Each structure stands twice: as C-alpha cells, then as structure tokens.
Amino acid sequence: MSRTIPILVARLIFAAVFLMATSFKFIDPQSTASYIAAAGFPFPLFLTWVAAFFELALALAFLTGVLFSEASLLAGLYVVFLAFAFHGPSHWNGNQAEFGFFVDHFTFLAGLLFAAVHGPGETLVARVRPFARLR
C-alpha cells in the first residue's frame, strides 16, 4: 500500500498536465496555432489538433494504465521536442526564464522515464492487451 498512493498520484499528475495542455488547445486552438506558427512550423492549426489529440491519448494512458510504458516513452520524446522547439537555446537571449522552462522539461522527462521503466503499478490499471493478437 505504501507504493500505491505515490504511484497513483504520479499518474494523476502526468494526466493532469496533459489534460490541461489539451484543454487549452480545445478551448482556443487559434492561440496555440499562433504560438506554433511563431516557432516557424508550417500548418499550425493542423499541428494544434494533432497535439491536442495526442495529449488526450497520453492522458488516457496515464489514467487507465493501458500502454502506460509506451505512452511514458512517447510523452518523454514529446517533452524533449517541446523543450527544444519552444524553449531551446535560440530563445535564451534576452529571456533567462526560457532557460528555466527548457530545463523544467528535462525534470519532467526524468519522471516519465522512471514511469516507463516501473509501469503503472497494480492498482486502477485496465487489464487490456490491445496488441496481444499481433504477437
């Protein structure tokens, strides 16, 4: 029981972060698209929707435990991409806070890698094997 509560809290934190990010995109997709366009990416509105549904899928994986380790690894790659794309070295000139935002992504990555290795725990985990027939 001593491991169960911290694991569930960690899963809820991961899910909450991605649900908040998703909600911003669903509530005001144009704002996110503008941010994406300002970073120099093409098709910003399309990428906004791709990110929104990807983040929603990640949140669901963290909440249910389905494909948890895989979702943790994908989320880690996504977080590193976001760090470099939106807070990387080209953003540090004249704004020290951007360096802090950049570093924070790697703290999040560390938690995601730990989660990927150790899994979702034994409590409140959907016992679904979506790719079992493919093996």
Instruction: Tell me what pLDDT residue 45 has.
Output: 98
Mean pLDDT by 10 residues, the chain (135 residues): 90 98 98 96 98 98 96 98 95 90 97 96 80 56
Q: Is residue 17 part of a domain?
A: yes
Q: Is residue 134 part of a domain?
A: no
| 35: Cβ contacts below 8 Å, ≥ 6 apart | 44, 86
Domain that holds residue 33: 4-127
Predicted TM-score (pTM) of this structure = 0.89
Instruction: Tell me what pLDDT residue 134 has.
Output: 52
Q: Is residue 133 part of a domain?
A: no
With beta carbons less than 8 A apart as the criterion, state whether 56 and 18 touch. Answer: yes
Instruction: Tell me what pLDDT residue 132 has.
Output: 60
Backbone angles phi, psi at 66, to 5 degrees: -70, 125
Distance, in Å, from the CA atom of 61 to the CA atom of 48, rounded to the nearest integer, reads 20
- Number of other residues whose CB lies within 10 A of the CB of residue 39: 16
Instruction: Tell me what pLDDT residue 117 has.
Output: 96
With beta carbons less than 8 A apart as the criterion, state whether 121 and 7 touch. Answer: yes
CA distances from 59 to 6, 22, 30, 65 (A): 17, 9, 22, 10
Q: Is residue 132 part of a domain?
A: no
DSSP 119: -
Q: Is residue 9 part of a domain?
A: yes
The domain tally of the chain equals 1
Q: Is residue 135 part of a domain?
A: no
Instruction: Tell me what pLDDT residue 121 has.
Output: 92
Residue with tokens 């290795």: 117
